[in-house]
Amino acid sequence: MRVVVVGASGNIGTAILQALTDAPEIDSVVGVARRLPVRAAAPYDAAEWVSLDVGAETRDDAAEEALVDGLVRAFEGADCVIHLAWLLQPNHDRELLRRTNVDGTARVAAACVRAGVGHLVCASSWAAYSPVADTADLAPRDESWPTGGVPSSHYSVDKAAQERVLDELEAEHPDLVVARMRTALVFTASAGASIGRYFLGPWVPRGILRPGLLPLLPVPDGVRAQVVHAQDAAAAYLAVVRHRAGGGFNVTTDEVLLGRDLARILDHGRTLTVPTRAVRPLLHYAWRARVSAADAGWLDMATALPVMDAGRIRRELGWEPRFDAATAVRELLGGMVERQGGASVPLRPHDTGHEGAPGRRPGLQGSASLGQGDGPVDRELLGIYLDDHLTGATGGVERIGRMARSYADTSIGPELTLLAAEIAAARDRLRTVIEELGLPTKPHRQALAWAAERAGRLKLNGRLLGASPLTVVLELELMRSAVAGQLALWQTMTELAGELGLPREDLAGMAERSRGFQSRLEDLHARVRGGALRT
């Protein structure tokens, strides 16, 4: 059996890769991720890898078609696709989140249909369910409970919208088996660093989570939680894949954790109940000020969503959790305190800020994080690299623009004019990439490059270049060297696209344009070099 896992480098994805690797009936696994993990590390070493961003912004229908085509190629020959890709941060950017979470699901669904995949297993959530009328209502609900979401939670709204995408898919393609995995909160020690980033942010000290440290635990009234260990969640996915099962599946332990249970896990059992209506504004404004990574919608879900009944997956597929809720929570708390992580960008243990913090871009790390070929991209080095290329590109644009004006009345003038405009557009695209990554530029360096190019037009005797027939040959050779450097730049950025959250197809297209510039400059050089050295 061949299985493709979209979003295979995160918390659940990593656990699922391990479960698939250990299953004898799984012949091959393909991992699809925006930012590739360290492929030499387990369990990532057991999969083939494809770098694709299901939430990439597409500017037109052709780009949208190319993105889905990339997914189709990754899905070809697959018996099952497991779709996990989801963004929790940056949760101030609703357009980005919805494009990844909802539009990304629609793209995966379309690719499954076109690739002839027979089974789609999609990561839904307990958050997709509609609220209960009474917050004190702890009666378990099965999979028939409505999936309307909690309107004040962006996470819940997107999960409910994802369910509508799957409804339409099933209605239009009844031959495609669709499973919806409505898991509780998924905890494990190796997700400690990432969950701390996503929900606590950089300002909350992790040490306060050590058992016995807090004298009592403040708990908003009405809060309850259900959890499942990542290994048990992965086992549930594997059971659904094995049985080619469809429909909704609640995946959780039986325990419902209330405030007193959470306090007991923290080793003292003492709680202080605080009114939710008093806590919510504080959480909201802390999120607005970017002090807290989690928004108030998570509190709304914790007090409004129903308790799930996981009876169906137990009865029909024989799934049973091996870890109880308390064990899963203790593991997570230990992982958060110790900042435990894994060998993928989402699970990185070393980053203290949460994804989406101002001035940061997913996949970029601090200056001390350069690896040996598989580590995260070094933010400082990348900034220097791109700024150096921008400086060189500025000089190149100035040079070819002057050439187009100087040789406008010659046989090569029209082609030079076209090249000048296109090379300038490529320079502008580089500047846009730098802005998208939130990296600094040094405008004075570009100004110096502009001035240096103008000064370079003078010979030592003060005469302008251009009087000699040899000048055009030399200038074309300089431009050929410049676009060769430009080609290398775009090839490098294409390779890093998945880690940086940039559209790979767009960057690969820029590389092809640079290759085209080279070819056209070579043609111009061939047209003028023969006579340049003759009397």
- Convert the pLDDT of each residue in 224-280 to its tens digit: 999 999 999 999 999 999 999 999 999 999 999 998 898 888 877 788 889 999 999
At 367, the pLDDT band (50, 70, 90 cuts) reads very low
| DSSP label of 282 | H
Which residues lie closer than 8 Å to 82 by C-beta, 6 or more apart? 3, 4, 5, 6, 16, 121, 122, 123, 237, 241
Type of residue found at 114:
R
Which residues lie closer than 8 Å to 208 by C-beta, 6 or more apart? 214
SS3 408: coil
pLDDT tens, residue by residue, 388-443: 899 889 888 998 998 888 888 888 888 898 899 999 999 989 988 888 887 876 66
pLDDT at 365: 42
- Helix, strand, coil content of the chain in percent (nearest 5): 50, 10, 35
Report the residue count for the chain: 535
pLDDT tens, residue by residue, 450-459: 455 455 544 4
Other CB atoms closer than 10 Å to residue 250's CB: what's the count? 28
Q: Nearest CA to 4 among 42, 52, 40? A: 52
pLDDT at 86: 94
At 465, the pLDDT band (50, 70, 90 cuts) reads very low
pLDDT for residue 375 is more than 70:
no
Tell the residue number behind the tokens 């190019």, with chain if given. Answer: 453
| DSSP label of 207 | G
Provide DSSP, 211-244. Answer: TT-SSSEEEETT--B-EEEHHHHHHHHHHHHHHT
Do residues 321 and 232 make contact, with C-beta atoms less than 8 angstroms apart? Answer: yes
Q: What is the mean pLDDT of residues 23-51?
A: 92
Q: What is the mean pLDDT of residues 351-370?
A: 42
Other CB atoms closer than 10 Å to residue 444's CB: what's the count? 9
Q: What is the pTM of this model?
A: 0.70
Ranges in the chain annotated CATH 1.20.1260.10: 377-532
pLDDT for residue 70 is more than 50:
yes
Helix axes 413-436, 504-532, angle to 10 degrees: 150
Q: Nearest CA to 527 among 398, 401, 407? A: 407
Ranges in the chain annotated CATH 3.40.50.720: 2-356
SS3 67: helix
Which residues lie closer than 8 Å to 225 by C-beta, 6 or more apart? 184, 185, 256, 257, 262, 302
CA 495-66-49 angle, 5° bins: 40
**Cα 211 → chain centroid:** 33
Type of residue found at 44:
Y
CATH 3.40.50.720 fits 2-356, yes or no: yes
Measured distance CA(31)–CA(8) in Å, rounded: 5
Measured distance CA(490)–CA(418) in Å, rounded: 21
Element (H, E) at 327: helix 325-337
**Cα 272 → chain centroid:** 38
Measured distance CA(268)–CA(274) in Å, rounded: 18
Choose between 37 and 462: higher pLDDT.
37
pLDDT at 160: 97
Q: What is the mean pLDDT of residues 496-524?
A: 89
Other CB atoms closer than 10 Å to residue 317's CB: what's the count? 17
pLDDT for residue 167 is more than 90:
yes
The backbone region for 269, taken as left when phi is positive above 0, alpha when psi lies in -120 to 50, beta otherwise, is left
Q: Both tokens of residue 91?
A: 């949760």
pLDDT at 376: 63
Q: What is the mean pLDDT of residues 140-162?
A: 97
Measured distance CA(535)–CA(532) in Å, rounded: 8
Measured distance CA(482)–CA(476) in Å, rounded: 10
Q: Which fold has domain 377-532?
A: Ferritin (1.20.1260)
